[in-house]
Amino acid sequence: MTQAISLRLLIVDPHGNIVHRLVWEAGQYVVEEEVIEAVLVSDGTPGLQPAEPGAAQTSQEMLQVTLQQDTAETAPQPERREVYTADAILADLKRAYEPLQDAVIVAADGTVLAATSDMAGTMMSEVVTALMEFGMQACQTLDMGDMLEISSRDTQTLSLTYPAAHGVALAVTTASSGNLGLFYRSCQSAVRHLAE
């Protein structure tokens, strides 16, 4: 045995009062003759009672406006993605790993997009551009796939260079000792932001 389900839609005003009561009939919603309002009964709980006669006689245009207002308030907002600038990426990297010594973001033509200091930008830009060109040529010549990272380490300093999207590279230096796991994760996060 199946039961027939009667679909109803209540339209309420900003104060929570029911303005329209719609019933699903023959594939569409139609306005019921009687409009029901929410009112407080003597014990302070909300109750329903019929509205004054004639209150249900609202134009179809008014009904559509009310429906649009309701759906606009409940519609999910599109997710907004944060846009990162080169300077903001380096600032975040410096906060994430404070022992960072120098960092620079360089375009493929050698233009410095951001640097932790003027000296870092001047000294590192040509080296980074040359390293990236050499690394990419070596990977192509040896058929090794894409280059992910160039690293150089001695007893005092660790230097990393990462290719990023749009022909941009990130180069960083820090002390060889320290929390290098955090350092690597922070650098990879910066590279992901550069790709966005």
Per-residue pLDDT of 82-98, as tens digits, reads: 567 889 999 999 999 99
3-class secondary structure per residue, the chain: CCCCCCCEEEEECCCCCEEEEEEEECCEEEECCCCEEEEECCCCCEEEEECCCCCCCCCHHHHHHHHHHHHHHHCCCCCCCCCCCHHHHHHHHHHHCCCCCEEEEEECCCCEEEECCHHHHHHHHHHHHHHHHHHHHHHHHCCCCCCCCEEEECCCEEEEEEECHHHEEEEEEEECCCCHHHHHHHHHHHHHHHHC
Domains of the chain, earliest start first: 8-74 (no CATH), 86-195 (3.30.450.30)
- pLDDT exceeding 90 applies to what percent of the chain? 27
How far apart, in whole angstroms, are the C-alpha atoms of residue 139 and residue 151?
A: 15
Q: pLDDT band for position 109 (50/70/90)?
A: confident
pTM value is 0.56
By CB neighbour count within 10 A (0-12 exposed, 13-18 middle, 19+ buried), where does 174 fall?
Answer: buried
Residue 104 to residue 96: CA distance in whole angstroms: 16
Predicted confidence (pLDDT) at residue 66 exceeds the cutoff of 80? no
